[in-house]
Structure 1
Amino acid sequence: MPDRRQHRGSHPQDRGLFDLDAAPALLRATGDLNWLLTRGYASASALKLVGDRYALNARQRLAVARCACGEEDATRRQQHQVQTQDLAQQELWIDGYNVLTSLEAALSGGVILHAHDGCFRDMASMHGSYRKVAETIPAIQILGTLMAEWNVAVCRWLLDQPVSNSGRLKTMLREISEERGWNWEIDLVPDPDPVLIGSDQIVASADSQILNQAERWFNLARVAIDARVPDAWIVDLSGEGVERTSET
């Protein structure tokens, strides 16, 4: 069946899965998973243990997994993160789908997860194919406008070549940047992750593997959502100011 979605919005069950009644269990589950990961437990088995304990369904478990990380990883990510003022006259390499889909989801009212490492992550899944939605062009324009305000010298977008419709998105990004006079480069690569990890430039992503290895990274999706989507649906599982109260 063809994908006819017009928005990168929430799943039909999300209002119940991530409402105020569900939030305390999700926050405790994320805290417990952080604790287990910090102590070297394997992520898959730790997630199953926590998910079973709090009777989480598959989508809630996915959210907890995307928000949790061990303290060593959290500290490393914080130490290598740069701020908005550090972008002036610098190159910024963007993990294209990772950043764009989060902003699209925020604009369409989808769940945005505030993770333990401070990143905002979405619940979208492309399954090897990208489809333009109503929020795609507004999201691109928001990102471009912000980067122009920050005086980013060059923006290099990296898109996954194997993902269907990457070529169309590349054309869209190029046309918008040329129309607005933005200095953008858009590349299709087999896998952006190793390119971003090995770059000596600032990278923009919320991908955990990239953040664990990149020398400098910028929290672009979160900054853009905070600045331009004030009514975004944020589910805060960061655990900031909350201590874990139970042993697993």
Structure 2
Amino acid sequence: MKRHARITLLLFFGLWIGSPEGWAQTTESGFVPLLNGSSLEGWEGDPTYWRIENGTLVGEVTPTTLLKTNTFLIWQQQQPADFELKGIFRITKDGNSGINYRSERVPEVPYALKGYQADIDGQNKYTGQNYEERGRTTLAYRGQQTRIQPFTQGNVRELVKNNAWTMLTVEKSLGEAEALQSRIKTEDWNEFHLIVKGNRLQHFINGVLMSDVTDLDTVNGKKAGLLGVQVHVGPPMKVEYRNLRLKTL
């Protein structure tokens, strides 16, 4: 193929190759970008912790800005119900972050969210699992396909043990924990893909299904809500996100 023809095809498909660490931005049917690459327009959060740097969304906690509560950068344009969300992330080894969806604000805490979270951490202990922030806690560990049982009555906190929800059934293994962990790169760029449709919530990392939840709890579960990205209480950390894009279903 001639050189000018190759260039035309690259432009047509929207492929762009960036910095030495490598990432690609593609134009996909139905997906809408959530970042403009130059500002936090469309998002709300504490600028102490969030910024755009070289086209990348950066969340950073420094020794002088340590957190007392988790804080989020919250997307303001829509509260998606059924959707696919894609992007790439990189996080420092001591970092802790996550992508919240179908979430709601916590009125008494600025920039805090309560709801489903695709967990991300720098040591890859939790990356890919489904954790409900300020709610039922762990709904599926990495490697689990779970079914959340209907909730009728009781104290939610009493139904949490060892930071995991007890009213669930593990229906299937998605793979050995160590094998799945080996598919996630440490302190390097990883792709994520969330597929959220009806009461089924699937988290993929680098094309591998890491957790799969069917939530039959209509009391505590949510059908729509806010999107946000998190920096977590703990030591200094840095998380980076690129090419965030959303497709409503």
**Same fold (TM > 0.5):** no
> When the two structures are superposed, what TM-score results if normalisation uses the length of structure 1?
0.24
Select the structure with the greater relative contact order (CA < 8 A; seq sep ≥ 6). Answer: 2
> When the two structures are superposed, what TM-score results if normalisation uses the length of structure 2?
0.24
